[in-house]
A = this chain, B = another copy of it.
Amino acid sequence: MGKDYEKLAPKYRLLLGPGPVEVASRVLNVMSNPLYGHLDPKFLEITNETMKLLRYTFQTENQLTLPMSGTGSAGMETVMVNLLEEGDRAIICVNGVFGERMRDVASRCGAEVISVEAPWGKVIDPEDVRRAFKEAPGKVKLVGIVHAETSTGVKQPIEEISQIVKEHDALMVVDAVTSLGGVDLKIDEWGIDACYSGSQKALSCPPGLSPLTMGVKALEVIDNRKTKVQSWYLDLSMIKNYWSKERVYHHTAPINMIYALREALLMVYEEGLDERFRRHQLNSNAFVAGIEAMGMKMAVEEKEYRLPTLNAVKIPDEIDDYQVRSYLLDKYGIEIGGGLGDFKGKVWRVGLMGESSKRNNVILLLNALGDALMQQGYKVDFRLAIEAILDIYDI
Interfacial residues of chain A within 107-125, with CB under 8 A of chain B in the complex: 108-109
User: Quick one: which of A239-273 are within 8 Å of B by CB?
Assistant: 249-257, 259-260, 262-263, 266, 269-270
Are B254 and A74 in touch, CB under 8 angstroms? no
The distance in angstroms between the C-alpha atoms of A247 and B288, with both chains bound, is 31
Residue with the highest number of chain B CB atoms closer than 10 Å, among A10, A40, A228: A10
Give complex CA distance A206, B13 in Å. Answer: 25
Interface string of A18-57 (1 = CB under 8 A from B): 0110110100111111111110101000100100010000
Which of A34, A200, A255, A270 is most buried by chain B, counting CB atoms within 10 A of its CB? A34
Chain B residue, CB-CB nearest to A19: B252
Provided the pairs A2-B269, A108-B232 are in contact, do residues A200 and B252 lie with their beta carbons within 8 angstroms? yes
State whether A233 and B74 are in contact (beta carbons under 8 Å apart), knowing that A15-B35, A28-B34, A34-B10 are contacts in the complex. Answer: yes
A77 contacts the other chain (Cβ, under 8 Å)? yes
Tell me whether B207 and A105 are in contact (CB under 8 A): no
* B38, B73, B104, B229: the one within 8 Å of A207 (CB): B38
Contact yes or no, B70 A69, CB < 8 A: yes
Q: A383 to B11: give the CA distance in the assembly, Å.
A: 54
Interface residues on A, range: 35 or more
A395 within 8 Å of B (CB atoms):
no
**Cα distance, A249 to B270, chains bound together (Å):** 34
Chain B residues lying within 8 Å of A108, measured Cβ to Cβ, are 228-232
B31, B81, B255: the one contacting A20 at CB < 8 Å is B255
Contact between B20 and A77 (Cβ–Cβ < 8 Å)?
no
Within A305-353, which residues are at the interface with B (CB < 8 Å)? Answer: 329, 335, 340
Residues of B within 8 A of A76 (CB): 232
Which listed residue (B13, B72, B340) contacts A36, Cβ 8 A? B13
Asked if A266 and B206 make an inter-chain contact with CB atoms under 8 angstroms apart, the answer reads no
Given A37-B20, A252-B207, CB of A233 within 8 Å of CB of B42 = no
Given A101-B232, A252-B198, A28 contacting B33 (CB threshold 8 A): yes
* Complex alpha-carbon distance, A234 and B231, angstroms: 10
Does chain B have a CB within 8 A of A96?
A: no
Whether A71 and B69, one on each chain, are in contact in the complex, defined by CB atoms closer than 8 angstroms, is yes
- Among the listed B32, B46, B53, which residue makes an inter-chain contact with A31, where contact means beta carbons less than 8 Å apart? B32
Starting from the known contacts A1-B266, A8-B259, A8-B262, 12 additional A-B residue pairs (CB-CB under 8 Å) come to A1-B270, A8-B30, A8-B263, A9-B33, A15-B35, A20-B252, A70-B233, A77-B233, A108-B228, A108-B231, A200-B252, A230-B231
Which residues of A are in contact with B by a Cβ distance under 8 Å?
1-2, 5, 8-13, 15, 17, 19-20, 22-23, 25, 28-38, 40, 42, 46, 49, 53, 69-74, 76-77, 81, 101, 104-105, 108-109, 198, 200, 206-208, 228-234, 249-257, 259-260, 262-263, 266, 269-270, 329, 335, 340
Query: Can you name 10 A-B pairs with beta carbons within 8 Å?
Result: A2-B269, A5-B49, A8-B262, A28-B31, A28-B32, A35-B206, A108-B229, A108-B232, A206-B254, A207-B255
